[in-house]
A and B are shown apart, each in its own frame.
Chain A
Amino acid sequence: MVGPIYIIAVALGIAFIMGLFGKSLKNFTGWAMLAGLGFMTYVSGQWLLEFLNNNRAVETIYTAGFKPPYSINLQMGSYEALLTFLINVVGLLGGIYLYKDLKKTGTNAMVVFLVFIMSLNVVVMTRDMFNLFVFLEVGSIATAGLILLDKNGNALQAGMKYLIATGIIAGILLIGTIFAYYFAGSLNIDDILAANLGAAKATVIAVFLIYVSILLELKPFPANGWGIDVYTAANPGIGALVSAASATAMFYVLYKLLPLGGAEWLNYIAVIGGITFVGSNLMGTKQNNPNRLLGYSSIGQIGLLTMILGLSDILGEKLVFVAFGILISHYAAKAGLFWLSGIIKAKDIKGWAALRKSPFLLFLFGTFVFALIGFPPFPSFFGKWELIMTLATGGHWAWMTVILVGSFIEGIYLFRWLGYAIKLDHEELPDFKIEWNKFFPVWVMAIVLYAVGVYVTPMVEGGSFINYIPLMFVLFLFAIDFLPVYIKNTVSIGGIIWYMFHIYPVLEGDLLRLIFAGIFLIGGVLTLMAGYSKKGTRKGFYPMAMMMFAGLIGIIEASTLLEFFFSWELMTAGSYFLIIRGKRSMPHGYSYMLFSIAGAYAILFGFGLAFASGFDTSLAALGSISLLPTLAYTLLAVGFMTKTASLGLHIWLPGAHGEAESDVSPMVSAILLKAGVFGLMILFLYMDRASTGATNLLYVLGWVGALTTLMGNMSAAFQEDAKRLLAYSSVAQLGYILFAISIMTQLGWLAGFTYTINHFMFKAVLFLVIGGIVVKLGTHNMYEMGGMIKKMPFSFVAVLISIIVIGGIPPLSGFAGKWLFYNAILEKGWYFQGAIIFFAGIIAFLYLYKLIHSVFLGQLKDNHRNMKEISAWILIPSYVMIIGIMIFSAFPQYILKPIGNMIAPYFSSEALSWEGTKALTSFGYWDGTTVMIVVGTAFVLLLGWLVALSSKAKKIEQFNIVFAAERPHRPETTHVSYNIYAGYQKALGFLITPFVTAFWDAMSNLVLEVANWLRRIYSGSMQNYALHVVLFIVVFYLIALGGL
């Protein structure tokens, strides 16, 4: 083993040698620097391995051969080994990254770089207060020098601000240190901690001064203008180090000194961290400069970590795991992002659209953003999970809220940025070069994130259950992404089919899960089949689609809260990438993501309450929520409803589904929405229905469902865009489902299931077929279509049958749903809501008519004269679905009867009974098979009669009509479909004034305005920043010790 002291000795030795030979041997210095960094990495790495593998004691290094406190001692324990290793790795990678820049500036810059990393090592290892001060100063001076690596006016100003601020902070730390020595009689940190300086009134000032200076070094909001400017102006390679290495070291310093003052100081630390986390992220929302934005995000993340340390009493033994998970994610992601920023060199985040030129870099960018927000499988996900669960256990709702709100705000700007990179229309994409030395470090950091994520999974309670097989499949698809579509499509379908066989025995006997698994997996196969109609390689599609399906099936398989949430987030991530693939999808993908994150955090909060109620990690914990049950149910319901797009939370859906690619729309509409339904069903089954909270919640949800239906159907009726019409129709259908299951009777649930299955099938058909037509005709606008019945007869029949289902017209299963539905309403006695639903049902006919008429009937357009039927690859899955609809319509008892039996135990009365094919309720009966036979016979007879009569009919050519002499200015306005329901809109349009959209717009404007107003404190004046630092000190003092 090489002793840790050699980190210092060798780094300094090399630095001095570089000074000696630097001028004459230019190449030598570069290699010497890297060798030095490599050596430091090696030393800390071997110690890390040693601590991981052998349970050895902490190594203390005594300098000068004397024992502390009379001499300085360093410590190498497992934490020190880990953190120095992290610092040295990012130092080595950063050295490789900056190699050319450093070389351009000369030997001196390399010396400074090497010493900088060395100083951070000492800061981590030292156990002496004054030594800490010295090496903090070494680090500060080195930073001030490295800022000037890019010589520009901004860097100069930033460096000056940095020097002034750190100068004041160092002075305060020095006073604190000398008084700690005065009171404790020692400079050794362990002695000072043991002296319990926080206890006496006189000595506590030293504690305050040390805390405040360390906290200030961590750049607390709002006294951090000097830090942000460094991130903004310095070379991003330096930004990466300041963010990943310096902040890591400072974080550890705070950890070392945490016991200095006792428990009440922890509260202050937590509060300062919390304010920084939320405030800094809020500032980030108005940023367009990528480096500055990363600066705000860095400071925010460090604020979160500070807060976690402040909560260490509450977190107990979980502290290390939580802090590590979040720290390592911040570390790798932030370093990676800064380095990416240095490759792209854009002054505005919109310029990151250039990343599209390099899909692999885009992938890395996405990795970092998702890691920062805390998506699986990254370590921050597990860290945040444990954090929330532990906080919930202690009943710290306020802290949970702060964490989730801050994380959400961070999502606001990170996903806007990611959206820009993936999709922003950008005329001229700036060119950038990818040099291997810049690319390599970014790549390593991404690997670190994945590897550590998988590595820590089993350390979370219940984490070992997480099934990584589907994710391996996703990874495999990434690996074969260069292959043509048909191969990847076949592989994907094969994968899903294999999984069906794998999962069937697991789920056998659990009908609820089996039904949803069927929807997800069969739906997956059928919608994927449409993919055969695509050409080329379709880069990125398959991994993301499979990630979504992995998430969906994971939700089904989940037996624990963690598994459920893990899969839920996975599904969100996958579906986000699918949705944002559409041509004009950027804003919609963005709002989808924001609603999803907010929903996920609501669910997380609810899970926290569930877990804390009985320390049960299984999903059954939802059944015994004793802590704030009403809040928990509401949060969970709201969380799931972000996916079902219920009224108020629906504004993302029409755009997201309408603008998505033709085969993505059915995936996200027919399949993905059901995840929310599944979540709601699980919740409703588990929760304590008898409680007032739950009853009220169900009542409210019933109204929400009814109003969602009305709004959805009306909006659909006024659409000109065929896909948006279908999207709004989905909103309405999900409203029916929500309403039905909120009734909470056996009939209601049967209706809910029927609607779920129906919607899955008909919406898949409609989106597939209409999507295919839209692509084929090149327009979304229905008034630009028409007369397609002769060109696309199969499509017409498919759409017709689907419409019959939606309309609830006998004999198809839509009627079964309606029949159950009205029975349930009558039984429950929700007459007002029922009336709304009934009214909405009538409106549905308006849009259904519009859809079939405008597209298939009417006049064929000139430019569509040579159209052919849409691809067979779309029709085949559609017709499979239609066969499914027919079977379900004719023999509903095969599905509904078992479902009825399954859910019967949950409900007091069994309201539906079966006599053969006949379903009976107290209000009447219905027999699907008979109805099918009767209507079918009538249909065949009528059709025969029509065919028989057709020989007498006179054939009329399309243009055999009288034209007016003039052509109107905008011909489309004369189309019957154009604004077809203007009259209704005039009369009822007020009902669908987009006040929900307006509400959310106002909310987001409010957030942005607050951010805009608050960030005025960053006036740019270095004196003001110094003022902020002093103000922070004084205010903190007055609050903490004002009564002295």
Chain B
Amino acid sequence: MIKKILIIGLLAGVGLIFFDLFNAYQGSEVLGKTGRYYAENGADEVGAANLVTAVIVTYRGLDTLGEVTILFLTAAIISFVLKFRREDFIPNRPVRITSELLDSASQVIVPVIFMVGIYIFINGHLTPGGGFQGGAVIASGVLLMIMANPNFGISHKVIAKVESISGIAFVLIGIMGIFLAGGFLDNRLLGLGNLGELFSAGVIPIIYTFIGLKVGAELSNILGTISHAQNEKN
């Protein structure tokens, strides 16, 4: 009881902080300094029609590298945390029979999902979307496959290869930026091309492709590991 009152009191306190923040918030009529810079120079400097992508991949590429690292770490941690002894592994655990709908749908839809995912990350510099979104869409296809067949085994080896090679490629492109352009993760290794075309914005499409593959692989890896973990004897 006392705890409940305390929690309510604390939430009221946090609410007060939020309320003060809300009062401090005035909305905006015009772009701030940084936003204005991106709006004015983003197209010329980076060449990506999608300015959010320009910020994510180039201006704040280091954040994105960190972001990729986080997924990479999470996948790595999950696989060593959920590692179990081989003798505890049951290859085919009894599962509920998959409904006809799910089973057929997975076979029809999954390739489409993968295609959509790839489309999203390849066009990340032009339209809303990008590597993370595309990767997540791909992983959702994998999730559908797992749900349709819980004993479906993903090849961790292949996934690990995709993951690592994409990661190495990302870092290497970043380093090449130091030598060939203005700095680590500079996208002007390649010509910026014409704004709005698929082959434009320097290396952004390439980076986003690797990110898409990497994110897709990592998320699939996580899903696979968690699903796998349920094949363990209790």
Contact = CB atoms under 8 A, between A and B. Distances in A.
Nearest to A186: B34
Contact of A175 (B21, B74, B178): B21
Given A115-B69, A135-B66, A203 B24 contact: yes
8 contacts: A9-B171, A16-B164, A65-B188, A106-B80, A108-B80, A131-B63, A175-B21, A181-B32
A144 B70 CA distance: 12
Interface in B64-95: 65-67, 69-70, 72-74, 76-77, 79-81, 83
Interface stretch (B7-15, B100-108, B130-138): B7-15
Contacts of B61: 63-64, 71-72
Interface of B: 3, 6-7, 10, 13-14, 16-17, 20-21, 23-25, 32-34, 37-38, 41, 45, 58-63, 65-67, 69-70, 72-74, 76-77, 79-81, 83, 157, 160-161, 163-165, 167-168, 171-172, 174-175, 177-178, 181-188
6 residue pairs, one from A and one from B, having the closest CB atoms: A65-B182, A1034-B13, A145-B77, A16-B167, A20-B164, A65-B186
Contacts of B45: 66
Contacts of A106: 80, 83
Contacts of A15: 69, 72, 167
Interface string A15-49: 11111101100000000000000000000000000
A956 interface: no
B63 A112 contact: no
Contacts of A22: 160
B13 A134 contact: no
Contact of A138 (B66, B76, B178): B66
A19 B183 contact: no
A66 B20 contact: no
Nearest to A13: B171
B70 A137 contact: yes
A109 interface: yes
Most buried by A among B74, B172, B183: B183
Given A16-B167, A1027-B6, A1034-B14, A3 B66 contact: no
Given A70-B37, A72-B60, A105-B80, A138 B73 contact: yes
Contacts of A1033: 13-14, 17
A1037 interface: yes
A1041 B32 CA distance: 27
Contacts of A266: none
Most buried by B among A12, A18, A182: A12
Interface string A1007-1044: 00000000000000000000100110111011001001
A61 B184 contact: yes
Given A9-B174, A62-B182, A71-B59, A112 B73 contact: yes
> Dominant SS at the A interface?
helix
Interface of A: 3, 5-6, 8-9, 12-13, 15-20, 22-23, 61-66, 69-72, 105-106, 108-109, 111-112, 115, 119, 122, 126, 128, 130-131, 134-135, 137-138, 141-142, 144-145, 148, 151, 175, 179, 181-183, 185-187, 202-203, 205, 208-209, 1027, 1030-1031, 1033-1035, 1037-1038, 1041, 1044
Contacts of B77: 108, 112, 141-142, 144-145, 148
A61 B161 contact: no
A141 B24 contact: no
Contacts of A1031: 6, 10
Given A5-B178, A19-B163, 5 more contacts: A5-B183, A9-B174, A13-B171, A144-B77, A145-B77
Most buried by A among B25, B63, B66: B66
A564 B175 CA distance: 56
A64 B76 contact: no
A1044 B60 contact: no
Contact of A185 (B7, B33, B60): B33
A12 B6 CA distance: 44
Contact of A3 (B37, B177, B178, B186): B178
A131 B60 contact: yes
Contacts of B7: 1027
Nearest to A146: B77
Contacts of B33: 69, 185-186
Contact of B81 (A115, A145, A1035, A1044): A145
Contacts of A3: 178
Contacts of A179: 21, 24-25
A3 B62 CA distance: 15
Given A65-B183, A179-B21, A12 B171 contact: yes
A134 to B, nearest CB: 4
Given A131-B60, A145-B80, A1031-B10, A138 B69 contact: yes
B38 A19 contact: no
A141 B34 contact: no
A61 B81 CA distance: 36
Contact of A111 (B76, B81, B174, B184): B76
Nearest to A65: B182
Contacts of A187: 34
Contact of A65 (B38, B79, B177): B177
Nearest to B23: A202
A1037 B12 CA distance: 12
A62 B188 CA distance: 15
Nearest to B74: A141
Contact of A145 (B73, B160, B175): B73
Nearest to B71: A141
A1033 B160 CA distance: 41
Contact of B13 (A12, A186, A1037): A1037
